[in-house]
Amino acid sequence: MASGVKPRVKVPKTAAAGDAITIKSLISHKMESGQRKDKEGNLIPRSIINRFTVEFNGQSVLDMAMEPAISTNPYVQFEALVPEAGDFVFTWYDDDGSVYDTTKSIAIG
Amino acid sequence: MTKPMGNTLTAIALAAVAFSTVAAADEAADLVINGDQEMVIRTAAPEHLSDVLDEINSGWLYRKDETQLLQMDDFDNPGMIFVDLAQDAWNAVDGSEEKSCASCHDNVEDTMKGVRAVYPKWNETAGEVRTLAHQINDCRENQMGAEKWKYTGGKMTAMEALISVQSRGMPVDVAIDGPAQSTWEQGKEMYYSRTGQLELSCANCHEENFGNMIRADHLSQGQINGFPVYRLKNAKLNNAHARFKGCVRDTRAETYKPGSPDFVALELYVASRGNGLSVEAPSVRN
Amino acid sequence: MEFSRRETLALGLGAAVVTVMPFSVNAAADDVIATFTGGADMADTGIELTAPEIAENGNTVPVAVSAPGASAIILIATGNPTPGVAQFNFGPLAASQSASTRIRLAGTQDIVAIAQMADGSFAKASATVKVTIGGCGG
């Protein structure tokens, strides 16, 4: 498990049913590209977040495949529909097998 | 190695810089964070500077539109994730005394408000000017019985960001008189001293040429009201000493050590050049 | 980047102030595109790609893609060592087929976005992003 990996997501607390909302997501992760070399000249192996998914009450909003060209501390902004109250589940998958996730609830109002 | 070209080189380099076009900084742009926190990004130069500058302004103005946008929303600002991480550290017990920062300092929002705005500052007990990082390590070592953090490391810059954001929007107000005066004067002398093979002083670029381009970079006044700063270049937070070290190295001089008395003096002086600008930390720059 | 005094002098003597990394193209980019489209034609409308003309820093370049009605969009950096950047797959609860992110560009190059539309057709947009060498400290 990479250390210091922390998600940060902005979801409004409430929305009207059927609204489109903007979601901003960030996760602290080095995104080691596999292109860099260490002091001895050896290639530092790739170690990145390779996939980011967003689901709402079990339905897919976004499923994003990431490659090493995504910057350190990957940021993704997108729009989601809010048909009803529920939970947004954000999941990030690491090359090393770790999975990071966070859940944000939204109410209708 | 033959003798450095010295002044000739500097003169040519600066002549080229001076003749280049002033890049498109949006002079009229305003920095409002999260739609409601207005920053003072240009103001009258403080008295000690008023003989050389009329106006002081924030480095934010010199960046491209896309970069400026990153600082205007706390969920666009990549520096804020480190504030979150430091909040966890604030509450975490660390060291032989089984304390966390919170054990003595309660909520960071209450107890740290206004702190960053007056640092670096004179510490009576220690008998010297201290930076925020020095003070953090002092607390860790002497109050918590915890290991000191590396001066320019990720944990330190994150904690500096957490503490700094509590002063965000407040004017920088470091004392330059009283017991801090001799340190301030030492810093001022450093600022105006040419150094390195390129024989450049801080002032050559940041006082005489702000607004001009140095290669593809838009030169700012070199203010540090936004430090610690998330730099796009290394995708992490950087504090003042880390940046000073790089700047001095870029003049092809033997650079100083972060945390050293030289850099403390320089930081006090450079901070005072920004007295009146809002604390912007954590800011976003190139 | 280390410059000799001769090179510094040359730069100072009126050479272009904006130093631009050399343009580069990668044949592997075509492979990535072919894998996604199966070689199908790509329309040049129906997808928008937003990127800065000059990147503040090649390490973190904000870009945005938008293709109403798309099921997926891929983003390619044709001049990077490996051209693939990302693939956005939009689910039924995506309010729009658009997304923004931040990418690394190794040098001045064309970036390309290709959308696969609901009807199976493809649309392509590209943008040239200049990546410069900074003045001080990179």
Q: What DSSP string runs through chain C?
A: ----HHHHHHHHTTS-SS-BPPP---HHHHHHHHHHHTT--EESSS-EEE--SEES-TTSEEEEEE-TTEEEEEEEETTSSS-EEEEEEE-TTEEEEEEEEEE--SSSEEEEEEEEETTS-EEEEEEEEEEB--SS--
Q: Which candidate from B214, B219, B286 shows the least CB-CB separation from C57?
A: B286
| pLDDT at res. C132 | 85
| pLDDT at res. B27 | 63
pLDDT tens across B54-85, in order?
999 999 999 999 999 999 999 999 999 999 99
Q: Which amino acid is at B124?
A: E
Mean pLDDT (whole number) for C17-41: 76
Would you put residue B150 in left (φ > 0), alpha (ψ -120 to 50) or beta? beta
Q: Which amino acid is at A81?
A: L
State chain B's mean pLDDT as an integer: 91
pLDDT tens across C47-95, in order?
999 999 999 999 999 999 999 999 999 999 999 999 999 999 999 999 9
ipTM, two decimals, is 0.95
Is the pLDDT reported for residue C18 higher than 50? no
Would you put residue A20 in left (φ > 0), alpha (ψ -120 to 50) or beta? beta
The Cα B170–Cα B148 span in angstroms is 29
The Cα B269–Cα B191 span in angstroms is 8
* Chain B residues within an 8 Å CB radius of A9: 75
Query: From residue B50, how far is each of B47, B56, B109, B273 by CA, in Å?
Result: 5, 10, 34, 10
Q: Which candidate from A66, A67, A78 shows the least CB-CB separation from C94?
A: A78
* Chain A residues within an 8 Å CB radius of B78: 26, 73, 75
Chains that touch A (3 or more CB pairs under 8 A): B, C
Give the total residue count for chain A.
Answer: 109
Determine the distance in angstroms separating the CA of A21 from the nearest CA of chain B, rounded to an integer.
14
Is the pLDDT reported for residue B140 higher than 50? yes
Q: Do C17 and B213 touch (CB under 8 A)?
A: yes
Mean pLDDT (whole number) for B140-159: 97
Q: Do A24 and B85 touch (CB under 8 A)?
A: no
* Chain A residues within an 8 Å CB radius of C99: 62, 64, 76-78
**B6: confidence class by pLDDT, cuts 50, 70, 90:** very low
- CA B124 to chain CA centroid, Å, is 23
With CA atoms as reference, the chain C residue closest to A20 would be C95
Is the pLDDT reported for residue C17 higher than 80? no
Q: Which residues of chain A have pLDDT under 70?
A: 1-2
B202 belongs to the catalytic site: no
Question: Three-class SS of residue B70?
Answer: helix
Residues 6+ apart with CB under 8 A from C135: B213, B214, B215, B216, B217, B219
Closest CA to B65 of C106, C56, C110: C56
Is the pLDDT reported for residue B18 higher than 50? no
**C7: confidence class by pLDDT, cuts 50, 70, 90:** low
Closest CA to C49 of C82, C75, C15: C75
Percent of residues in chain B assigned helix, strand, coil, to nearest 5: 40, 15, 45
**Within an 8 Å CB–CB cutoff, is residue A68 touching chain C?**
yes
pTM here? 0.89
Query: From residue A73, how far is each of A5, B209, B244, B283 by CA, in Å?
Result: 9, 33, 25, 16
Show which residues on chain C lie within 8 Å of chain B, measured between beta carbons.
Answer: 5, 8-9, 11-14, 17-20, 52, 54, 56-57, 59-60, 62, 132-138
* Chain A residues within an 8 Å CB radius of C59: 71-72
Backbone dihedral angles phi then psi of residue B70, each to the nearest 5 degrees:
-60, -30
| pLDDT at res. C4 | 65
| pLDDT at res. B5 | 47
**B22: confidence class by pLDDT, cuts 50, 70, 90:** very low
**B7: confidence class by pLDDT, cuts 50, 70, 90:** low
Mean pLDDT (whole number) for B10-27: 45
Query: Which of B67-76, B188-197, C16-25 shows the lowest per-residue confidence on average (mean pLDDT)?
Result: C16-25
Mean pLDDT (whole number) for B92-102: 96
**C5: confidence class by pLDDT, cuts 50, 70, 90:** low
Six token digits for residue C98: 């658009």
First to last CA, chain C: 8
The Cα B129–Cα B180 span in angstroms is 6
